[in-house]
Structure 1
Amino acid sequence: MKFTYLGHAAGYLETASERFLFDPFLTGNPKASIRADRIDPTYILVTHGHSDHVGDSVAISKRTGAPIITTFELSQWLEAQKAKVESLNHGGSQDFSFGRITITIAFHSSSVTEEGGRPLYLGEPAGIVLETEGRTIYHAGDTALFSDMRLIGDETPIDLALLPIGDRFTMGPKQAKKAVEFLRPKHVVPIHHGTFPALTGDPHEFVKLAKGTGAEIHVLQPGESMSFT
């Protein structure tokens, strides 16, 4: 199984049979490693409504036919734009041909900015647990640290966790280290850092802090990949 970091919170997971695209903010992303018209997922997973996570999901879904799996209110907004969607909500799971998706809580916000600068709220943000081909991947989305991360790790042992470390709008390195202790994943890729000046969380500081947690930390540059079994 291969995970490629695409920059910011975007990632691409390739399995034997499927290709999963997480939070595809590519157009307008100064750190993006690929153009939106060059990627070909079979499923798109979106954690919340902010533009740096929804990104190119509608355009990619329309071009490829890949459904967007996300929360209920956000799915309605995306469906109104003629995207193909599958909706879930917090605590809910759904079986698919590839395995299973569970939507978890996240502590953040979820909105788009309408014309005139007004925010349109789109329900609550989420984390996504993907179980496929005997492996479990957790994309935390944008979130603060919360103690119920322990329950996520208890429910399904996590092979790969994608955790934001940029600080200011999400966890920073210190809180992300505690998240690793709660979740107990085998592998971690830090995300949502360095894209913009405000995201000051240092992945190398995170590596130092997380030493001794038992997790293998992979600091990937946009376009770099890691494989896990």
Structure 2
Amino acid sequence: MKKTFRTLAACALAALAAGCAQVQTAPAAPPTGAGKTEVLWLGQAAFRITTPGGKVIVTDPWLRANPLTPPEYKNLAALGKVDVLLVTHGHGDHFADAPDLARMHNVPLWGPGDMNQTVGLLGILPPNLVPRFNKTGTITPAPGIKVTAVRAEHSSVIVWKNPATNKDESHYGGEPVGFIIELENGFRIWHMGDTGLFSDMKFIAEYYKPDLVLMPIGGHFTMAPADAAYATREWIKAKNVIPMHYGANPLGKGTPEEYMRSLGPTGTRVHPMKPGDKLNF
């Protein structure tokens, strides 16, 4: 009986091993969105993000008049296709080239709901290209991509040249926002827009758990390097930070070196970039 049992057990184990071997040799389907995320910085708060699934997201496109934009990208067509267009608020150094990109690619300009209402009422873009959403609202602007609007501590107006008078007018631009951008593979980017310090940065970081934060450090209009370092160290505790919104305006004097000195030893990996640089995550 013992010999028979041992023989049966050995046969069962051999069969199981053979079955496992068959499973292991079967080709595995690659996970959806398993590729890299490419981040191209174009100066100020303008980024082109190419997702693992090949979607192209453009944020705050101030390119043609931006002194830091690489020359080749002053031609908007050089961006290639644009699947998702995001604008955090109405100031010209974030909004300027967005209407032309929306028309060029026939994609909606996603931004603060009240800003988009103003854009539509002024006739800058047709209603179908200025959909509305607001803070904590989540949209799916392209398959596999989710974008949530979050708080930013700043202001927002749209300067519009009235064709009837040829004079500039200032119009309400809604409340500014930041964006939590979730890609096909779950990678999350927090584009903070223009913002000063506010303690709910801690809540946003804890709730949305961003893998990468695009953080303004220039000062005067946004957080200065010491402010950004405090937010990073005490509240956000980010895995990765790309400093932005500095150097394009003489008043935005903060630098990545000042930010990193203020930050000190930390678990955050800071990625200083020059306009035109690309990083993969």
Structure-1-length-normalised TM-score: 0.94
Question: What are the within-5 Å matches in structure 2 for residues 151-166 of structure 1?
Answer: 151-166=203-218
Paired residues of 1:42 and 1:67 also in contact (CA < 8 A): no
Unmatched segments (≥5 aa) in structure 2: 1-36, 162-166
CA offsets, 1:128-181, max 9 Å, x none? 111112110011111101110011111111111011111001100001012213
CA distance in structure 2 between the aligned counterparts of 1:32 and 1:77, rounded to whole angstroms: 28
Paired residues of 1:174 and 1:206 also in contact (CA < 8 A): yes
CA distance in structure 1 between the aligned counterparts of 2:87 and 2:220, rounded to whole angstroms: 21
How big is the alpha-carbon RMSD for the aligned residues of Structure 1 and Structure 2?
1.5
The counterpart of 1:91, out of the listed 136, 160, 163, is 136
Residue aligning to 1:32: 69
Deviation at residue 81 of structure 1 after TM alignment: 2.1
CA distance in structure 2 between the aligned counterparts of 1:180 and 1:219, rounded to whole angstroms: 15
3-state SS of the aligned residue for 1:27?
A: coil
Structure-2-length-normalised TM-score: 0.77
Residue aligning to 2:253: 200
Deviation at residue 216 of structure 1 after TM alignment: 0.7
Residue aligning to 1:64: 105
Paired residues of 1:193 and 1:199 also in contact (CA < 8 A): yes
The counterpart of 1:184, out of the listed 234, 237, 249, is 237
3-state SS of the aligned residue for 1:220?
A: coil
One-letter identity of the residue aligned with 2:181: L
Paired residues of 1:25 and 1:54 also in contact (CA < 8 A): yes
CA distance in structure 2 between the aligned counterparts of 1:99 and 1:31, rounded to whole angstroms: 29
Residue aligning to 2:20: none
CA distance in structure 2 between the aligned counterparts of 1:78 and 1:187, rounded to whole angstroms: 34
Structure with the largest fraction of helix? 2
Please say if 1:3 is aligned against 2:39.
Answer: yes
Deviation at residue 207 of structure 1 after TM alignment: 1.6
Paired residues of 1:110 and 1:121 also in contact (CA < 8 A): yes
- When the two structures are aligned, how many residues end up with a matched partner? 228
3-state SS of the aligned residue for 1:88?
A: coil
Please say if 1:73 is aligned against 2:114.
Answer: yes
3-state SS of the aligned residue for 1:95?
A: strand
CA distance in structure 2 between the aligned counterparts of 1:179 and 1:67, rounded to whole angstroms: 32
Please say if 1:143 is aligned against 2:195.
Answer: yes
3-state SS of the aligned residue for 1:100?
A: strand
CA distance in structure 2 between the aligned counterparts of 1:82 and 1:196, rounded to whole angstroms: 28
CA distance in structure 2 between the aligned counterparts of 1:88 and 1:185, rounded to whole angstroms: 26
One-letter identity of the residue aligned with 1:198: L
Paired residues of 1:58 and 1:78 also in contact (CA < 8 A): no
Matched residues, percent identical? 33
Structure with the largest fraction of strand? 1
Please say if 1:108 is aligned against 2:149.
Answer: no
One-letter identity of the residue aligned with 1:224: D
